Amino acid sequence: MTATIWSDDGVRNLLRRMFDAAVASADPLKTVAQNLPAKPEGRCVVIGAGKASAAMAAAVDAAWPDVDLSGVVVTRYGHAVPAGRIRILEAAHPVPDAMSLEAGPALEKAVQGLTDKDLVIALFSGGGSSLLVAPAGAMSLADKQAVNKALLHSGATIREMNAVRKHLSRVKGGRLALAAQPAKLVTLVISDVPGDDPSDIASGPTVADVSTIETVREIIARRRIDLPQSAQQFLMEHVETPKPSDITGDVRIIAAPALALDAAALVAEEAGLHPLILGDALEGEAREMGTVLGGIARSAKHRGQPIKGPAVILSGGEATVTIGSGSAGRGGRNTEFLLGLAVALDGQEGIWSIAGDTDGIDGTEDAAGAIITPDTLARGTQAGLDAKAYLAAHDSYSFFERLGDLVKTGPTLTNVNDFRALVIV
């Protein structure tokens, strides 16, 4: 290996190529067409929700020009693309808005009046939970917004949040599948959750739900989630979600975090790095994850354990950021992870890292994530930035913005969760 490859610019370039490869592995234009079922005798109705749903819908429309095709999907603002005969709605994420409320009934209406000769193709990806809203019981949009905000600030895992959402919706947790009967149902999923459980993606509108109201009540109590009165009342009414015996249909995972890590590992190997994949389901507080992975990287650097350099340590999954009752600056879980990692490494030579959300949007900001280098803290000090203070204030975006180290891709039109890579040379 030449010194040029392991220069700061060389490693930065390599990190970005690994991230781009991870994103490309989940390109809907490639993955959807490869997983379509047999064409129906009757109509085909396409429904969906998520950050990748518009691109997925466009792939279906392009692949089946000779099929009687219609439908409606909802995606995040800025993630829409033309999808021919399929109507595209845009709504807010991570907190639902009025368009989210319009999307719920629109999808319900799209699957009404079908026969057993018709086919429903459901397209779901990460972000669908807030984009697709049909409040249960007496809940209003404001109530659903309050629920989402409470969940996002509670420190709950994505699985816990989705269990609550499923039980407070007319369409989630398999309820949309019941509405589509007796049509044949095929669900295509781009996974953004640890373990790739399709019932967790967009809160599983067409997938049976194994969580129960008792589970939801336990989560609310343990996480101290303050729900609106209307939500509390609905959960007291013992209205359960559809279970596996209630729903028939084919569910296909067409892209997933593990495949994205494999794609990045191939790029790393071609560059002369030894890849170590820790897994695609790492969870926990973002800053604490930074501390843990920083320790692993130090061990690899100085002891060659658990892998000897030059190497890259890859991981996926979804960290959390618990704000608590205090105020917070700007940033998402990936930039908070990186700032925690930089503090933990404390200027260690020979270690670089990238972390980003594969949808191109870390939290609510306009960056996918950022890159840290061995001199991140030193450059921060020169710019008058106290990394620990920015970390305490949950203001990681501002820190990396000042250093010019944000990674901005714009919406990628897919989503296989967070991507992290640490290069050790």
- Report which of residues 365 and 24 the model is more confident about: 24
Is residue 325 very low, low, confident or very high in pLDDT (cuts 50, 70, 90)? low
pLDDT score at 322? 83
| Helix then strand then coil, % of the chain, to nearest 5 | 40, 20, 40
Lowest mean pLDDT across 39-53, 147-161, 321-335, 368-382: 321-335
Percent of the chain with pLDDT over 90: 84
Residue 382 has pLDDT above 90, yes or no: yes
Model confidence pLDDT, tens digit, residues 251-302: 999 999 999 999 999 999 999 999 999 999 898 999 999 999 999 999 999 9
Q: In which residue are the tokens 């459901």 written? A: 122
The predicted model gives 27-36 an average pLDDT of 94
- Which residues, 6+ apart, have CB-to-CB distance to 419 below 8 Å? 19, 22, 23, 257, 260, 261, 264, 314, 316, 354, 355, 356, 357, 358, 369
Q: Average pLDDT, stretch 311-319? A: 94
State mean pLDDT over 44-58. Answer: 97
Residue 291, Cβ density class (10 Å: 0-12 exposed, 13-18 middle, ≥19 buried): middle
Q: At what angle do helices 158-166 and 141-152 cross, to 10 degrees?
A: 160
Q: What is the mean pLDDT of the chain?
A: 94
Per-residue pLDDT, averaged over 150-170, amounts to 89
Nearest alpha carbon to residue 346 among 301, 404, 313 = 301
pLDDT above 50 (res 27): yes
Instruction: Give the pLDDT of residue 1.
Output: 42
Quick one: tokens of 67? Answer: 């099929």
pTM metric for this prediction: 0.83
Instruction: State residue 150 phi and psi, 5-degree precision.
Output: -65, -40
Q: Using the predicted structure, report yes or no on whether residue 78 has a pLDDT greater than 60.
A: yes
